[in-house]
Amino acid sequence: MSTGLDAVYDELKRLQKEGLDRVYINDSTASLLKPIEPKVIPVKHISAQDTAALADLIDKPTPRAEPAKPTISVVEIEPLPEAPTIQLPDDAPIAQLKWLEESVQKCATCNERKNEDEQLVFGNGAIDADILFCGDAPGTDEAMSGLPFVGAAGQLLDKIIKAMGLDREKVYCTNLLKWRPKNDKPYGNRPPTQEEMAFCLPYLEAQIDIIQPKVIVALGNNTVGGLLGEETKRKFGSLRGQWDTFHDIPLMITFHPSYLQRNDTLKTKRMAWEDLLAVMGKVDLPISEKQQGYFLK
């Protein structure tokens, strides 16, 4: 018989299958959850001699204990001030983008919220890009370098962009949030909250205003939630692969590259690729037969 917890587990599994990247639990829900006690698995005694013999046999170092799996992370997030109002200078797009980047770098809230040793991540790419890729928030590698999508997920995004017949320099990459969300764990990235994304939204809107891409590609359910409203996060499975609009610009909703890394199957790759073929079609990029057939058996 399925318990309440089994049902939650099944639902989370279903959402994960649909492409939900991470699930944010608000403070009140989190306070109802008890911390998970780590399971103690009895270990059969193995002598030092046996361990050495085994290690020799498999020609690998003796395995070390796995670090403890993260449990639910709840970070106290101080209320944010009102989102900034952006009045772009009446200037050429390149000067506007420079002004905007300087404004972000000077933003008191962004600087207050970021980790001390990290940088804010504005975004980069072609100012006249047809395609703007948007993620939810920078990860560690991005916050260390100050550049978007340079870590493992970024490297996969690079490959995707190449497969589309483009280069990173021909597109624009950015995030909703301009700082890496503080995490109470020394590892991993915390998804940004709706409030955090709402604070930075005017910066993204101004970037879009300047660049005027033909298509925006929203990467992952958190990004979709930040762009289209929190309720859309849970509908990611049905929204993925569909066109929506953001500020009258066609918006393609697709998987986040970090989701693709964790769910590395031909089927998921093909689903993502079909979304990107649709993007290519929308911006009139040539599509070869070879490209049409990627990730088909």
DSSP state of 130: S
Instruction: Please give the size of the binding site for ligand URA, defined by CB under 6 A.
Output: 12
Nearest approach in angstroms of CB 21 to ligand URA is 9
Where does this chain touch ligand URA (CB under 6 A) — which range of 82-90, 101-109, 141-149, 194-202? 141-149
The helix or strand, by DSSP H or E, that contains position 253, with its residue range, turns out to be strand 249-254
Q: Which is nearer to ligand URA, 84 or 151 (CB)?
A: 151
Q: From residue 253, give the alpha-carbon distance in Å to each of 21, 236, 260, 276, 292.
A: 13, 8, 14, 10, 19
Nearest approach in angstroms of CB 154 to ligand URA is 6
Nearest approach in angstroms of CB 222 to ligand URA is 8
Q: Which is nearer to ligand URA, 188 or 293 (CB)?
A: 188
| Residue of the chain from 138, 181, 191, 213 that contacts ligand URA (CB under 6 A) | 138
Using CB under 6 A as the binding rule, whether residue 120 contacts ligand URA is answered as no
The answer to whether 133 and 157 have CB atoms below 8 angstroms apart is yes
- Considering only residues 149-208, where is the footprint of ligand URA by CB under 6 A? 149, 151, 153-154, 175
Q: Which is nearer to ligand URA, 176 or 279 (CB)?
A: 176
Using CA atoms, how far apart are residues 99 and 258, in angstroms rounded to an integer?
Answer: 31
> The sheet that has 172-175: what strands, in order across it?
124-125, 172-175, 131-135, 215-219, 249-254, 243-246
| Residue of the chain from 131, 137, 228, 280 that contacts ligand URA (CB under 6 A) | 137
Using CB under 6 A as the binding rule, whether residue 132 contacts ligand URA is answered as no
Nearest approach in angstroms of CB 220 to ligand URA is 7
Using CA atoms, how far apart are residues 268 and 1, in angstroms rounded to an integer?
Answer: 31
| Residue of the chain from 19, 135, 191, 225 that contacts ligand URA (CB under 6 A) | 135
For 141-201, the DSSP string reads HHHHHT-SS-SHHHHHHHHHHHHTT--GGGSEEEES-SSPPP-SSSSS-PPPPHHHHHHHH
Using CB under 6 A as the binding rule, whether residue 136 contacts ligand URA is answered as yes
Q: Which is nearer to ligand URA, 11 or 195 (CB)?
A: 195
Closest CA to 130 of 191, 211, 58: 211
Side chain identity at 59, as an amino acid letter? D
Q: From residue 249, give the alpha-carbon distance in Å to each of 91, 130, 170, 211, 229.
A: 22, 11, 18, 11, 16
Which residue number is nearest to ligand URA in terms of Cβ? Answer: 135
Q: Which residues bind ligand URA (CB under 6 A)?
A: 135-139, 142, 148-149, 151, 153-154, 175
